[in-house]
Each structure stands twice: as structure tokens, then as C-alpha cells.
Structure 1
Amino acid sequence: MSVLMFDDIVKRLKADNEDVLKEHELDDKDVTFIKEDEEKSFLYEIVANKQNGIDVDKWDYFARDCHHLGIRNSFDHQCLLKFARVCEVNGRKHICFRDKEADNVYDMFRTRYTLHRQAYQHKITNIIENLTLNSALDEIFEQISSSTADSLKESRDILNKIVRRKLPKFVGEARLTEKNKSKVVDLDHGMKDKNPIEYVYFYSKRKPNEASPIKDYQLSSFLPKRFNEELVRVYYKRTDEKKEEEKKKMEEAEKCFQIWCDSKFGLH
């Protein structure tokens, strides 16, 4: 869709001025490159890699978020860069990596999973996101909080609960089985239920110009058999009741959730 939009923009500009590209020191080759030049296909894997998800955009936010959140990042992007090279695979040029870096590549995908599990889709993060969606966009947070308008009272109350951490209580969480299709939270290594390593090309020391998917025997036997999981999470919305009454209801909710898990999934 974006390519069609770009073509339409160029077409309209040329209709108004045939020399519009020349005036900006551009030509049709530049137009082709913007859309995707097959001869330089590897360049499109640097920032947003649709082939396997290994790109500098991820490396940037991995380093930033792991640092600020105190989450260990075992992925070494500097080492991976040293062993990156362009190879032609099936008639197309790709960014490939040395075979001995396969475990390091897996660490990258594992880091992504860990960040989603412990931060981006953390149980408290989900609560705040849902509450925020029920109130307003982030950029008008301050305006609503400081407003005295009656029409914004409900939104103001929700935002105040977020600030004061008066959030819904987390009742429980269950990992769903393959048989049950109900789900709330998806966690994976970047390619849903697929093993992302299978979409990465590696070269060897003996054949640096020939790349192919890594062989199973070259990977650690500790790698998971499944690369995604689905979670269902239940929350109890707080009320203005006394603490003892609310605690009792919370315990009842937890008990009901355990019974539901046992009957539905056989999980705890």
C-alpha cells in the first residue's frame, strides 16, 4: 500500500512538473531505490528487517530499555556486527552472519521475549494501558488532570487512580494450551509460533561467501520446542469498599479463577 501511495505522489508531482526529480538532483533510479532495489536488497534489512527481524531498530531499544529497566541483555550486537556480511542466497542479497554466532542471534530473540514478558506486556502495564485507553490520549493527560469540568470527571478519576496506583488487582494468569483458542496476551520470539532462527542465513569460516539456514546440530539443544505462548489474565476491579471486604472479595476471585483454570485447562 505504501508503495502505491508513493507511486501516486511521484505521478502527481510529475504531472505538475516533468523536471521535478531533476530539480532535486534525483532520477528514476532514486525512485526505484526508495521502493526497493533488488540489486541492493540487503540495505532494506538494516533498519526494519522483514526477513527475520534482525535490525538496528531492535538493537537500539533493547540496549535502552534493558539498561533503564534493569533487565539483563545477553545479546551482544557489537560481536554480531563483526561477523555480518552480505551474501547472495537464492538470487537475492541478504545480511548474513557467521555460524558460530547462532546462539548470540537466539539471545537477541530471547531478549525480545523477555522485554515483552517483563515490561511491554507486564500485568501492570496492561492495566495502565487499558485504563489510559478508557480516559484519553497521553498528550492531554495533564489537561484532564488539572481540569475542573464536570464532563471530564470520569476521565479525571481514571487518571488519578493511575497516578495513585489504585489499579485493578491482578487475580491470576494461566498459560493456554494449544487446544484452547482463547487468549489475551501473545508472547513470542518475533515470528509468532515460528522459530526465527530458521529465517536467518549463516556462513562458515571455510565458505564465507556461501550462506544458508543453520543446521539443527549446530544449535544448542537447550533451545525451546515452542516459540510462542498465549496467556489469559484476570483482574479484579477495585471498589470503594472497606479493605477487609475488598480483601475477602479478592480471595474469592482468586479461588474462582483457580477453579476455572482447573476445569478449563487443567492449569494452576
Structure 2
Amino acid sequence: MSEAIEDMTAYTKMTDNIMYELCYSADTSLKKSRHIINRVLTRKLYTYIDEITFKNDKQIDKKSLTKIQKDLEEIHEDLVVDVVKLDYGLPMDNPIDAVQFYSKDDPNKAYKLSKNYVSRVLTEKNNELQIHVYCRNKDNANDLKDRLQTWCKDNGYKLKVGQHEPKQSSRGAVKFGGKRKFPKRGQYQETKRVKLLK
């Protein structure tokens, strides 16, 4: 399969059918591949544990990132670590700086857009680094989440989901741990009745 990219005739024959060919293959070297495909087809997907966020992505170099990934994988064999880098195609630069603009007054002359003309909605940050952590075995998910929280606390990292910050919900209710707190129906009606009488 890896050599098919060099041969265009073989490459064009590689359709989605290759997945089923792997499933029906008796080759012992493809046992792990068959197991993964079978999990996908039977919807036994990896469980999402949490996500590690960073205050300053620029401080995390490639060496540090490799060490973090290795340390996380050593917590338990069921942990799967996925490093996600989000940017606009230019990891460290503002993409607007690479765009050339033209005006109707002088259509043959290109110019760069100054910062004053760029929308204030756009943020100063152009990239983001995330580490997503998954669990292969659903039965170990809660235990591994506790271990991950301990590891992050010991190493000075923050978890996105594990922060348990109150979230503003609809209709003015504040959400704590999945529960919404609203004023009681009777209290609201009584207040409304008193106002009408006044």
C-alpha cells in the first residue's frame, strides 16, 4: 500500500474497498489493522478522556511536546495521545500579512493591509496547540481520567473539561456540574401578582 503512491495505475485502483480487503485477509501481520477496523465497524470507539490546553503555545517546542506525549503514554497502555495543531496555514504568522490587496483606484498596485484596517473581531493569536487524550478500554476511562488529572496537577498543565467552571446557560440560569438553578415557579408568580396589585 505504501508503494502504490509511486505507481499511478496501482494508486487509482485503491478505493474504499481496500478496507474490506484488509478485513478478509488472513495475513498475520495485518491482525492489528483488522482489529482496529472491526472496532470502527462495531462502533467500539475510543473514549474521550480530556484535553490539555496551554497558556502559551510558543513555549512548547518539539522536544517538550515529544516528552509530554511520551510521559502521558507511560501512565497506562490504554491511553492514546493525539497532538492537534490548529493554525491558518502559517504556524507563527498572521495570515492577513501574507495577503496582497488591490484597490479600484490603482488596480495594478498591490499593498499590504495595515493593522488599523483589520477587523477587531480577529484575535492576536493565530495558532493553538491541543493534546487530546483517549482511552482504548471504556472500563478504565474513569480511573485514567483521575490519573490524568493528577499528572497534569503535578506537571503544571490544565485540563479543558476537568476545570469544572460554571457555564452560563439559557434563560439566565447558571450551570453547575450539569444542573441548572432557576427561581421556583411559585416565587416568580407571587412576585408578578404583587406588582400587578400595586
TM-score (norm 2): 0.54
Q: Does the residue aligned with 1:217 lie in a helix, a strand or coil?
A: helix
The question of 1:180 aligning with 2:60 is answered yes
**1:100-115 pair list within 5 angstroms:** none
Percentage of pairs with the same residue: 31
Q: Could you list the runs of 5+ residues in structure 2 that have no partner in the other structure?
A: 1-14, 67-82, 160-198
Q: Does the residue aligned with 1:211 lie in a helix, a strand or coil?
A: coil
Q: For the residues of structure 2 that align with 1:151 and 1:223, how far apart are their CA atoms? A: 49
- 8 Å CA contact 2:85–2:127 kept in 1: the answer is yes
Q: For the residues of structure 1 that align with 2:137 and 2:28, how far apart are their CA atoms? A: 23
Deviations 1:21-59 (A, max 9, x none): xxxxxxxxxxxxxxxxxxxxxxxxxxxxxxxxxxxxxxx
RMSD, matched Cα: 2.5
**1:66-215 pair list within 5 angstroms:** 140-148=18-26, 152-176=30-54, 177-178=56-57, 179-181=59-61, 182=65, 184-215=83-114
| Partner of residue 260 from structure 1, selected from 145, 151, 157 | 151
Aligned residues: 124
- 8 Å CA contact 2:101–2:110 kept in 1: the answer is yes
Q: For the residues of structure 1 that align with 2:111 and 2:40, how far apart are their CA atoms? A: 50
Deviations 1:65-121 (A, max 9, x none): xxxxxxxxxxxxxxxxxxxxxxxxxxxxxxxxxxxxxxxxxxxxxxxxxxxxxxxxx
- 8 Å CA contact 2:52–2:157 kept in 1: the answer is no
Deviations 1:181-229 (A, max 9, x none): 3272211011112111101111223332221110111111121111111
Q: Does the residue aligned with 1:202 lie in a helix, a strand or coil?
A: coil
Q: For the residues of structure 1 that align with 2:134 and 2:147, how far apart are their CA atoms? A: 12
Q: Name the residue aligned to 2:179.
A: none
The question of 1:228 aligning with 2:119 is answered no
Q: Does the residue aligned with 1:172 lie in a helix, a strand or coil?
A: strand
| Shift in alpha-carbon separation, 1:263–1:152, aligned structure 2, 3 A | closer
Shift of 1:146: 2.4
Higher relative contact order, structure no. (Cα contacts within 8 Å, ≥ 6 residues apart): 2
Shift of 1:144: 2.2
Q: For the residues of structure 2 that align with 1:219 and 1:253, how far apart are their CA atoms? A: 45
| Shift in alpha-carbon separation, 1:149–1:214, aligned structure 2, 3 A | closer
Q: For the residues of structure 2 that align with 1:265 and 1:198, how far apart are their CA atoms? A: 34
Q: For the residues of structure 2 that align with 1:160 and 1:202, how far apart are their CA atoms? A: 51
**1:26-65 pair list within 5 angstroms:** none
Shift of 1:231: 1.0
Q: For the residues of structure 1 that align with 2:157 and 2:43, how far apart are their CA atoms? A: 33
Q: Does the residue aligned with 2:111 lie in a helix, a strand or coil?
A: strand
| Shift in alpha-carbon separation, 1:260–1:194, aligned structure 2, 3 A | same
Greater helix share, 1 or 2? Answer: 1
Q: For the residues of structure 2 that align with 1:194 and 1:162, how far apart are their CA atoms? A: 38
Shift of 1:266: 4.1
TM-score (norm 1): 0.41
